[in-house]
Amino acid sequence: MCACVVLVVGMVAAVNLAVPMLAASALRPSASALVWIVDTYVVFFACLVIPGGAAGDRFGRKGVLLAGLALFAAGALLSAVAPGIPLLLAGRAITGIGAAAVLPNTLAVLLHAVPADRTGPVIATWASMTGIGGVIGNAGGGAILTGGSWRWLFAAAVPIALVLAALVARIAPVSARHDRRLDVPGAVLLVAASVALLLGIVQGPEAGWGSPVVIGGFVCSAVLFAVWTVVELKVRHPLLDPRLFRIAGLRSACLGMTAIFFGMFALFYVNASFLQYGKGFGVLWTGLGVIPLTVPIIFGARHVSGLTARIGLTAVTALAFAFVGAGLLGLSTSDTATPYTVYAAWLVVTGIGVTLALPTLSGVIAGSLPAAQAGAATGLQATTREFGSALGVAVIGTVLTSQFSAALPEDARGAHTVAEALTRAPAHQVIPAFVSGADTGLRVLGAAVLVLGALVILQGRGTRAPRP
């Protein structure tokens, strides 16, 4: 189950390493298209992960998990052979649908398979895999991409998914089914609202913030989210009952999970290009370059529940956001002359915050719904994670593109990617403009994480920590 988590989460991070290759490829994607290549997978993953969990509750978690792995493999294969951007985006969407069926049912299978007195450590281990998966995606993706083509990244995912499907078929136990109908209208509305929101954010730098497509995206998103809320309040078995967010602890934990992944995966997006363009790293060393962030996760996750028992949930949450925010702000001071050891130290600081946040917030969310809805509960926290990831990539991509374009010399004005700018101006003018944009984006991220952390703490005061 943990290997399945690493695969679907690792794909979110690994594709960031391919961004420079994609930008310079024959596909000639624009800056907004590059963001969509990353975010299409994440949007479908985020918005359909709750239906994926509910489908597991209704039709059997093992069967839905196997179907998800098959879809993941099919989507990755289509992405690998896609001759143009439209088919590549279609492949990314199919892969995201498969991931949405995989992730929630991994924890649901685990919770069914282990004794009740071990569920705490199981949740902590599973939650840690979502963080480690991002880093393994960077390292493994870097190794694969040394082959010289972005297509190898998607091609390599196909046999991995099929091998995992064979292992799941042999090992995973069959769990009981629960009569819970799927909310198809709710899922469609949630996907549409999320795509409209990201459309407004991503297209801003190229189309203009006052353009019809951007304004229309934001207006449509607001309307669709409002309609989605009305629909969810009326259906008998909602995709996600908005009334659940009356629970302060659940509400704050979901916001906290969104904020943590907002910062972490936006960092992965910037890190991949910064180390390649700004530091001159090869793709393999770029993938390995983020490993310091995992050190606290690997060695510290098992101690978080004990720390929470000693100093309280609020204090641990505050420390988590302080470390993540400080790490992102520290990384924003890096430039081409900054030693990698300094950069790595700030990655460790960020990793400490992620380590404190993941098992703590996951435990609060998982403990908020009954056992019969284990898949849906896992889907809720997975939605907050992946939506935060998609939003983080969209925001950092938007800020980076805006600042990068403004900092370019006059000959390269109008270029929105480094590959495009390098055809118009020398590298010693283009790279500093990119680094300036990356630093601005990281400062925005760091400030946003600190503000969101303050809101999480204010909303979640009085929430009890999950039992270790």
Q: What is the pLDDT of residues 346-360, one digit of tens each?
A: 999 999 999 999 888
CATH 1.20.1250.20 fits 2-182+237-460, yes or no: yes
Q: How far apart are CA 144 and CA 271, in angstroms?
A: 18
Whose structure tokens read 């088919």? Answer: 87
- Sorted by where each begins, the domain ranges of the chain are 2-182+237-460, 183-236
pLDDT of residue 383: 79
Tens-place pLDDT, residues 59-79 = 888 999 999 999 999 999 999
Predicted confidence band at 463 (pLDDT cuts at 50, 70, 90)? low
Q: How far apart are CA 87 and CA 347, in angstroms?
A: 35
CB 198 within 8 A of CB 89: no
Q: Which residue has the higher pLDDT, 325 or 135?
A: 325
CB 417 within 8 A of CB 30: yes
363: enclosing H helix or E strand: helix 340-366
Range among 22-26, 101-105, 164-168, 461-465 with highest mean pLDDT value: 164-168
Q: How far apart are CA 341 and CA 293, in angstroms?
A: 12
416: enclosing H helix or E strand: none
CA angle 189, 193, 199 (to 5 degrees): 145
Predicted confidence band at 444 (pLDDT cuts at 50, 70, 90)? very high
Residue 450, CB half-sphere, CA atoms under 13 Å: how many?
Answer: 13
Q: Where are the alpha helices (DSSP H) in 24-118?
A: 31-59, 61-81, 85-113
**What length is written for the chain?**
468
- What pTM was computed for the model? 0.83
CB 220 within 8 A of CB 44: no
pLDDT of residue 468: 44
Mean pLDDT of the chain: 87
Tens-place pLDDT, residues 312-343 = 888 999 999 999 999 999 999 998 899 999 99
Tokens of 109: 């299978």
pLDDT above 70 for 373: no
pLDDT of residue 409: 86
Q: Which residue has the higher pLDDT, 379 or 400?
A: 400
For the chain, what percent of residues have pLDDT higher than 90? 41
Contacts of 270 (CB under 8 A, 6+ apart): 396, 400, 438, 441, 442
pLDDT above 70 for 465: no
Contacts of 438 (CB under 8 A, 6+ apart): 270, 273, 274, 278, 400
Q: What is the mean pLDDT of residues 294-309?
A: 85
Whose structure tokens read 């685990």? Answer: 110
Q: What is the mean pLDDT of residues 157-181?
A: 86
Q: How far apart are CA 121 and CA 460, in angstroms?
A: 23
CB 297 within 8 A of CB 128: yes
Neighbours of 210 (CB within 10 A): 8
Tens-place pLDDT, residues 236-261 = 878 777 887 777 778 888 899 999 98
